[in-house]
Structure 1
Amino acid sequence: MPELRLATFNCENLMMRCDFRRAGIKRARERLTEVDDALVAAQVDSVFNVLSEDDRTLTAEALSVTQAEVCALQEVENLVTLTAFDTRYLARWSGAEYEDRILLEGNDTRGIDVGLLSRLPVIHYRSHARETYGRLGLSPPNGQSVNDYAFRRDCLEADILKDGRVLTLFVCHFKSMYGGRHKTRAIRQAEAQAVRLIIERRFPDPAAAEWVILGDFNDYFERDGQALHDHGLGPLVDDGFAVDLVTHAVADPYDRWTHHYNGDDTYGALDHIFLSPALAQRNARPHVRIVRAGTPFRARRYEGARFPGVGWSEPKASDHCPLAATLQFEGRPLAP
């Protein structure tokens, strides 16, 4: 039975902001979003040195500790940024570049997207960024219309092949809490419902199929270890449609946090890996790791060792922690 090491990580503003008119690179803007080419990444980077050396070194070190074969990433600007990060930073720590790099442009107004790095073949992938509430048959939240996009960023669907078997991933980055957690909850709830509908459309019997939803969902089931019931992720978990891996695998609720918000010094798990019921049953005791060594020292609940160079607030790997798990799956046979 195949075994897969999987991670999700919000890299926090992994961006390459360039003055394209000065770059001297033909079709620079288009190429940044369509070419998986380390030479293009190096050319842009050599002109502007646009990736922060300290922060991105720590980001790469944190991600490499997961030893993940497949990494779902959030807050990545474009494909060349992802390539530059992989080839210039991550490969130094992990020992080799990732063979497959996937990023499709989503809907975020800041230009941050979800992406995928994989050492395994990605045999199929597609974006759901252009799904509207109307096409999905969803009632839009207040202030939205049926013609508005259902996802603030994207839901990236990808089929991963290992040992002749296929596992499907859905990589997400839901609406932030900016503007207030309760005021923005309805949007995240609609996004959760949209992911569920996409999975139900893909799999005739979702409970019996094997799939994973993972990413930054910008909402938590617990805050400072105390259970909450006012989150926007109900469509994914309330009736057992999916199982939250960390809740399932980590007994101590105080040890489930992946994010520290310095504004009110609270700790919660914004990053999740959700398993289908069949996959959760197969992984009754999964190995789960939350990598906190790249968090700044102001996140005082973590008392373990930090990576060299981490500061009180900066530099840091991210404002999130990588979440990783080793999963066994039966999957589906590769179609002839």
Structure 2
Amino acid sequence: MPEIRLATFNCENLMMRCDFARSGLANARSRLTDVDSATVAEQVDAVFDVLSEDDRTLTAQALAATHAEVCALQEVENLVTLTAFDNRYVSRWAGRPFGERVLHEGNDSRGIDVGLLSALPVVFQRSHARATFGSLGIAPVRGATVNDYVFRRDCLEVDVQKEGRRLTLFICHFKSMHGGRRRTAAVRHAEAVAVREIIRRRFDRPQEAEWVILGDFNDYWEVDGRSTRPHGLEPLIADGFAVDLASRAISDPYDRWTHHYSGDDTYGALDHIFLSPRLAALNPSAEVEIVRAGAPYRAERYDGIRFPGVGWIEPKASDHCPMVTTLKFEGRVAAP
């Protein structure tokens, strides 16, 4: 039975900008596009200026520290940025780049998308960024119509392959809490319903299939063991549709946090790895590791070793911490 080392990480504004003056490319703006093969990132070594060299170095260190074969990423600008980050930063700390990169343009007004880095072959990929409330048969949230997109970013559906077997991942980044957690919960609830419907359409018997939903869901149902209901993730967990791995694997509720909000000093579990019931049953003892060595020092609950260069607020790897696990899966036999 194959094993996969799987991580999720919100990189916090993983953006790069082209320095047209130094690139020497008269048509650089037209060449560096999201549908580009991303070879330009290799061909022109001086094109990219990272928004923060220190932050991106720490981001790569945190990602490398997961030792993941496959990593779901959130807040990535485009495919060219993802390629440059993999080749220039991750490879320095992991010893080699992941190699496989997947990103489709989503709906976020800031241009931050969900993506994937994989050392395993990606044999299927599909974006659901253009899924509407009407196309999925979901009641629109207040202020929306049946023709509006459900996802604030995307639900990226990907199959990875190992030892001739395929495992399906659904990578998400739900609506932020900007505007108030309770006021925005309905949007995340609709996104969760949409993910559930997408899985139902993909698999005849979802409960018996093997799949993972992972990413930044911008919501939680408890903080340090205290219930925070209502929340927007009920459709994923309320009736056992999926199993939240961290809640099962980490017994201490004070140790499940992946994000620190300094405004009210909340340590929340915004990042999740949800397993199908079948996959959860195959991995009764699966552990979860949360890599906090790149967190800023103002996240004082973490008193472990940090990467050199981390500051009180900045530099930092991200405002989120990567989460990683190792899973066994039977999967589906890959097509010849």
Q: Percent identity?
A: 67
Q: Secondary structure, in 3 states, of the residue corresponding to 1:17?
A: strand
Q: Secondary structure, in 3 states, of the residue corresponding to 2:190?
A: helix
Query: Does the 8 A contact of 1:36 with 1:101 survive in 2?
Result: no
The alpha carbon displacement at 1:32 in A equals 3.0
Give the corresponding residue for 1:118.
118
**Superposed counterparts of 1:172-187, under 5 Å:** 172-187=172-187
Are residues 1:80 and 2:52 paired? Answer: no
Give the corresponding residue for 1:68.
68
Query: Does the 8 A contact of 2:20 with 2:47 survive in 1?
Result: no
Residue by residue over 1:84-143, the C-alpha shift from the partner in whole angstroms, topping out at 9 and shown as x without a partner, is: 111111100001011210111000000000000000000010100000000001000101
Q: Secondary structure, in 3 states, of the residue corresponding to 1:272?
A: strand
Equivalent pairs counted in the alignment come to 335
Give the corresponding residue for 2:109.
109
Q: For 2:30 and 2:319, locate their aligned partners in 1 and report how far apart those are by CA, in whole Å.
A: 28
Give the corresponding residue for 2:325.
325
The alpha carbon displacement at 1:29 in A equals 4.7
Give the corresponding residue for 2:236.
236
The alpha carbon displacement at 1:37 in A equals 2.9
TM-score (norm 1): 0.96
The alpha carbon displacement at 1:28 in A equals 2.8
Q: Taking structure 1 as reference, are residues 207 and 30 closer, same or farther at Cα in structure 2, changes over 3 Å only?
A: farther
Give the corresponding residue for 1:58.
58
Q: Taking structure 1 as reference, are residues 186 and 21 closer, same or farther at Cα in structure 2, changes over 3 Å only?
A: farther
Q: For 1:195 and 1:215, locate their aligned partners in 2 and report how far apart those are by CA, in whole Å.
A: 12
Query: Does the 8 A contact of 1:295 with 1:310 survive in 2?
Result: yes
Q: For 1:302 and 1:145, locate their aligned partners in 2 and report how far apart those are by CA, in whole Å.
A: 44
RMSD: 1.6
Q: For 2:22 and 2:110, locate their aligned partners in 1 and report how far apart those are by CA, in whole Å.
A: 21
Give the corresponding residue for 2:265.
265
Residue by residue over 1:55-93, the C-alpha shift from the partner in whole angstroms, topping out at 9 and shown as x without a partner, is: 001000001000000000000000010011111111000
Q: Secondary structure, in 3 states, of the residue corresponding to 1:207?
A: helix
Query: Does the 8 A contact of 2:129 with 2:155 survive in 1?
Result: yes
Query: Does the 8 A contact of 1:5 with 1:324 survive in 2?
Result: yes
Query: Does the 8 A contact of 2:86 with 2:99 survive in 1?
Result: no
Q: For 1:211 and 1:87, locate their aligned partners in 2 and report how far apart those are by CA, in whole Å.
A: 29
Unaligned stretches of 5+ residues in structure 2:
none
Give the corresponding residue for 1:2.
2
TM-score (norm 2): 0.96
Q: Taking structure 1 as reference, are residues 329 and 312 closer, same or farther at Cα in structure 2, changes over 3 Å only?
A: same
The alpha carbon displacement at 1:288 in A equals 1.2
Give the corresponding residue for 1:40.
41
Q: For 1:25 and 1:207, locate their aligned partners in 2 and report how far apart those are by CA, in whole Å.
A: 54
